[in-house]
């Protein structure tokens, strides 16, 4: 029977093992999750607002048809003005949120308008039903439960914001019940408050597990994506991602007129090291080399990858050839500072590296740039190893 695969050590896998019962990750992972969610929210918000506008506008037009002001007394007619103002105000908020999502406004602005819309839609519906009862107009109180369901549907709002809006919704119904002048209306509103409270519990439970599953899916997806583009031993990018980024950076460098340097690094006599110290110790050496190389870069578009067994690649975007060559020398010296013993090396009694580099030329393709850097790497090896070689024609 085959042994089980080792557990993944990515931040996504660690969060999965820790759990997230309060629907919250660590700061960095939470920010990444928010960006992941927000990238797909505009279309969902558009659909939600379109449905709200259709339903709310339909009920508003229906009111104009079924409420005859001529049949109402003065006290009842006085209730029509706030009802019409309420209809108009909520409609404006729906249109504002719709326009924000359509024009792809900032996520914070869309979320703010969604929260304002949720509060207005829920409290406005409660107020409209309250006015209907005072007017004695037939209506369907089940619409309040439908609105409660809608509060837990907006994808751009967190569960905690949804719970806060639902609590405010139930509170507004209870306040209207307390303020009702007629006992019958007061009893009906209190009954609706109880129904909405129970509905909130059901919808909140469903919304909790929906977000929990969405977060779980995000973690599984992030873990799989990380493992697919990273080298499992060193945590650096793998050859596949290196090739992808190389093509992108070459195109961007030409478009922006920026220099691009490629450095290839190889551990000297690594096979001999493995034969003498064992593969487990050899893996530890590769991890040390990865740390040295990774510590050498600092710009956002710089990239380090493990492209072979003991071979690493460094892409430097926007730096001069002088800077790139100096960095290559620092990689050689950085391994000296680690002073990892290598008694079988004819170069030194420690682990050393050879580095070769080239700058992007106008006629270069990805394979030709790589071939030129690889040629410099072999020159470093043929010249005695433990050094950095650079194309002389591109050193200026």
pLDDT, tens digit (0-9, with 9 covering 90-100), for 107-123 = 889 989 999 999 998 99
3-state secondary structure 323-376: HHHHHHHHHHHHHHHHCCECCCCCCCCECCEEEEEEECCCCCCHHHHHHHHHHH
Domains of the chain (ranges plus CATH)?
11-227 (no CATH), 239-394 (3.30.70.270)
Whole-Å CA distances, 187 to 68, 127, 136, 174 = 26, 15, 15, 10
Model confidence at 396, pLDDT cuts 50, 70, 90, reads: very low
Whether residue 5 has pLDDT greater than 60: no
Residue 189: predicted pLDDT? 87
* Structure confidence by residue, pLDDT tens digits, 222-252: 988 888 889 989 989 999 999 999 999 999 9
* Coil, strand or helix at 114: helix
Residue 2: predicted pLDDT? 41
Model confidence at 80, pLDDT cuts 50, 70, 90, reads: confident
Residue 7: predicted pLDDT? 59
pLDDT mean over 103-109: 88
Q: Residues 237, 231: contact at Cβ < 8 Å?
A: yes
- The alpha carbon of 327 is separated from its chain's Cα centroid by a whole number of angstroms, namely 33
Mean pLDDT for the chain overall: 87
3-state secondary structure 260-297: EEEEEEEECCHHHHHHHHCHHHHHHHHHHHHHHHHHCC
pLDDT mean over 116-138: 86
Whether residue 395 has pLDDT greater than 50: no
* Coil, strand or helix at 41: helix
Taking the CA atoms of residue 84, residue 87, residue 89 and residue 94 in that order, the dihedral angle to the nearest 10 degrees is: -160
Model confidence at 198, pLDDT cuts 50, 70, 90, reads: very high
pLDDT mean over 74-96: 84
pLDDT mean over 382-393: 86
Q: Residues 314, 303: contact at Cβ < 8 Å?
A: yes
- The alpha carbon of 48 is separated from its chain's Cα centroid by a whole number of angstroms, namely 22
Q: Which of 123-127, 345-349, 351-355 has the highest mean pLDDT?
A: 351-355
Whether residue 358 has pLDDT greater than 80: yes
Q: Please state the pTM of the whole predicted model.
A: 0.69
Surface-to-core class of residue 261, CB atoms within 10 Å of its CB (0-12 exposed, 13-18 middle, 19+ buried):
buried
Residue 353: predicted pLDDT? 96
Comparing CA positions, the residue from 308, 320, 314, 360 lying closest to residue 334 is 314
Model confidence at 69, pLDDT cuts 50, 70, 90, reads: low
- How many C-beta atoms lie closer than 10 Å to residue 152's C-beta? 24
Alpha-carbon distance 380 to 396, whole Å? 20
* Lowest-pLDDT choice from 41-50, 349-358, 371-380: 41-50
For the beta sheet containing 311-317, the strands, ordered from the edge strand earlier in sequence to the opposite edge, are 303-306, 311-317, 260-267, 353-359, 388-390
- How many C-beta atoms lie closer than 10 Å to residue 79's C-beta? 16
Whether residue 3 has pLDDT greater than 60: no
Higher pLDDT, 23 or 146: 23
């Amino acid at each position: 029977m085959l042994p089980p695969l080792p557990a993944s050590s990515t931040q996504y896998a660690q969060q999965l093992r820790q759990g997230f019962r309060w629907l919250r990750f660590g700061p960095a992972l939470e920010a990444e999750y928010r960006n992941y969610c927000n990238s797909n929210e505009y279309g969902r918000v558009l659909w939600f607002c379109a449905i709200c506008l259709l339903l709310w506008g339909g009920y508003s037009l229906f009111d104009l048809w079924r409420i005859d002001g001529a049949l109402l007394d003065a006290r009842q007619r006085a209730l029509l003005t706030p009802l019409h103002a309420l209809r108009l105000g909520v409609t404006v908020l729906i249109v504002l949120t719709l326009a924000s999502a359509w024009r792809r406004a900032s996520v914070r602005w869309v979320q703010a308008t969604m929260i304002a819309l949720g509060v207005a839609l829920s409290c406005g519906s409660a107020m409209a039903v309250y006015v209907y009862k005072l007017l004695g107009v037939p209506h369907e109180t089940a619409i309040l439960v439908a609105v409660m369901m809608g509060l837990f549907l907006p994808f751009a709002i967190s569960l905690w914001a949804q719970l806060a809006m639902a609590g405010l919704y139930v509170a507004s119904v209870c306040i209207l019940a307390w303020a009702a002048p007629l006992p019958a209306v007061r009893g009906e509103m209190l009954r609706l408050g109880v129904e909405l409270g129970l509905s909130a519990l059901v919808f909140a439970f469903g919304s909790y597990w929906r977000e929990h599953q969405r977060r779980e899916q995000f973690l599984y997806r992030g873990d799989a994506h990380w493992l697919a583009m990273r080298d499992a031993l060193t945590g650096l990018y793998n050859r596949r991602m290196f090739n992808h980024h190389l093509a992108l950076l070459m195109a961007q460098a030409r478009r922006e007129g920026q220099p691009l340097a490629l450095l290839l690094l190889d551990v000297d006599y690594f096979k001999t090291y493995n034969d003498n110290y064992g593969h487990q110790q050899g893996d530890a050496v590769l991890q040390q080399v990865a740390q040295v190389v990774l510590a050498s870069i600092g710009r956002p578009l710089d990239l380090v990858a493990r492209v072979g067994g003991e071979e690493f690649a460094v892409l430097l975007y926007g730096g001069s050839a002088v800077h790139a060559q100096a960095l290559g020398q620092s990689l050689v010296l950085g391994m000296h500072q680690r002073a990892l013993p290598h008694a079988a090396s004819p170069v030194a009694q420690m682990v050393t590296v050879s580095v070769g580099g080239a700058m992007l030329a106008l006629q270069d393709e990805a394979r030709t740039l790589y071939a030129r850097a690889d040629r410099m790497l072999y020159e470093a090896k043929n010249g005695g190893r433990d050094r950095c070689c650079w194309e002389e024609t591109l050193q200026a």
